[in-house]
């Protein structure tokens, strides 16, 4: 597998991680699932997908560093951005759920 193909996989995984929580909100809006239940599932899913995206991105970056021809630099940069953005969204969602839990226990 080349660095650009691994970068593409990492970019897709990062995009899925970024869109997991908004997709859960949309699913809660259109189905009979409550928003809180949807977010309970979406946050861990986004975290796992983001960790996979970071792992694939790191492998693509290492493969790119070892190559003579620097094909795929842009896609690897995009993959890095999306992977870490997905991780950021997942951690932010986890903090929001934790804060909600603390408020729910105090009330």
Note the pLDDT tens digit of each residue in 17-47.
999 999 999 999 898 899 999 999 999 999 9
Low-confidence ranges of the chain (pLDDT < 50): none
What's the predicted TM-score (pTM) here? 0.88
pLDDT of 85: 95
CB 88 within 8 A of CB 21: no
Average pLDDT along the chain: 91
CA distance 23 to 54: 21
The phi, psi pair for 17, rounded to 5°, reads -65, -40
Burial state string for 8-21 with b = 16 or more CB within 10 A and e = fewer than 16: bbbbebbbbbbbbb
DSSP 32: S
pLDDT of 95: 96
């Amino acid at each position: 597998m080349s660095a650009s193909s691994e970068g593409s996989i990492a970019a897709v995984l990062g995009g899925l991680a970024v869109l997991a929580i908004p997709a859960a909100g949309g699913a809660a809006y259109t189905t009979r699932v409550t928003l809180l239940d949807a977010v309970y599932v979406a946050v861990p899913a986004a975290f796992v997908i983001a960790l996979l995206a970071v792992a694939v991105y790191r492998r693509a970056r290492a493969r790119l560093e070892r190559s003579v021809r620097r094909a795929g630099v842009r896609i690897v940069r995009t993959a890095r951005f999306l992977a870490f953005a997905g991780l950021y969204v997942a951690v932010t969602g986890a903090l929001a759920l934790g804060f909600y839990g603390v408020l729910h226990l105090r009330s």
